[in-house]
Amino acid sequence: MLTTGPAKKVTVYVMEGQTYHGTACYAAILDYLFFRGISDATVVRGIAGFGTDHKLHTSRLVELSDQMPIKIEFIETPERVQEVLPKLAEIASHGLIEVHDTNVIRPASPGEKQVPDVPAIKLESRAKMMRILIGEHDVWDGKPLYQALVQALRANDIAGVTVYRGILGYGANRRIHKDSTLNLSHDAPILLTVVDTEDKLRAFFPVLDQMVKQGMVVMSDVDVIKYSHAQPLPEARETRK
């Protein structure tokens, strides 16, 4: 996180139509800066300009040109800038990069309370993953089976479930199921992924036996890695006399 003091201002100039591995160059730079944890960055599009080829580029309504100048700008500590510069030079290979010394001034507003950064906590454990494969048209008690299963899992205090809708697949009867706008009778495959302890999942098996008439259930071992932020302890309240 940037603090008050010396810093570096970096400006990267590229052309709008310039690409890097099939992606717009400015978008690739922005993604790289974001995932490298750079404090913030701004992308602006020029309305006129020319580059090293001395060719004038202008933005006119009658032109659908993708050759307008693009500027990406960010401010970071000198150390972080040195880390990202080599990759930026690779992405903006035909552009221009400027680095200037600057100073960050962030005076706190009167009465503003500074909230300390809360470090992320990494929790690791072993668990079981249960995958339930059914059809989209499967029903139970008058409602789609996958919806009923989600409600049943929640009622049984299962940690969590995610429902995926497939676009192509086949089941035990080897009949192809596909998602097609031209086929009104399609029965797309549905996958429910559930993660919890083995004891809790096996305790849910009798419910599955009642609800799932045709499908498949798969159990496998998984490593659970969970990231969460520790909440600061609330300030002690003064007791009233």
Looking at residue 202, its pLDDT comes to 94
Residue with tokens 């969460």: 228
Looking at residue 185, its pLDDT comes to 45
- Report CA-CA distances (Å) from 198 to 77, 150, 155, 188, 227: 47, 18, 17, 29, 22
**Average confidence (pLDDT) over 198-203:** 93
Among 3.30.360.10, 3.30.70.120, 1.20.1050.10, 3.30.420.40, name the CATH number for the domain at 5-104. 3.30.70.120
Where does the pLDDT of residue 186 fall: very low under 50, low under 70, confident under 90, or very high at 90 and above? Answer: low
pLDDT in tens, 26-84: 999 999 999 998 878 999 887 765 555 556 555 454 444 556 788 999 999 999 999 99
Looking at residue 40, its pLDDT comes to 85
Radius of gyration of the CA atoms of the chain, in A: 28
Question: Residues 42, 72: contact at Cβ < 8 Å?
Answer: yes
- Report CA-CA distances (Å) from 150 to 53, 56, 61: 61, 60, 52
Where does the pLDDT of residue 224 fall: very low under 50, low under 70, confident under 90, or very high at 90 and above? Answer: confident
pLDDT in tens, 104-115: 886 445 555 555
> Among 118-122, 160-164, 202-206, 213-217, which is the least confidently predicted range?
118-122
Residue with tokens 């969590």: 160
Alpha helices in 51-179 (DSSP H): 78-91, 145-155
> Among 86-90, 92-96, 110-114, 213-217, which is the least confidently predicted range?
110-114
Degrees to nearest 5, angle at CA 57 with 51 and 61: 160
Looking at residue 27, its pLDDT comes to 92
The pLDDT of residue 5 is above 90: no
The pLDDT of residue 20 is above 90: yes
Q: Provide the token pair at 35.
A: 């995932």
Question: Residues 108, 53: contact at Cβ < 8 Å?
Answer: no
Looking at residue 56, its pLDDT comes to 57
Tell me which CATH code domain 121-228 carries: 3.30.70.120
206 contacts: CB under 8 Å, gap ≥ 6: none
The pLDDT of residue 237 is above 50: no
Taking phi first (over 0 means left), then psi (-120 to 50 degrees means alpha), and beta for anything else, what does residue 6 get?
A: beta
Q: Where are the domains of the chain?
A: 5-104, 121-228
Summary mean pLDDT of the chain:
79
The pLDDT of residue 85 is above 80: yes
Please list the residues that pair with 138 across neighbouring strands.
none
Looking at residue 1, its pLDDT comes to 66
Q: The whole model's pTM is what? A: 0.52
Cα 30 from chain centroid (whole Å): 14
The pLDDT of residue 195 is above 80: yes
**Average confidence (pLDDT) over 123-147:** 89
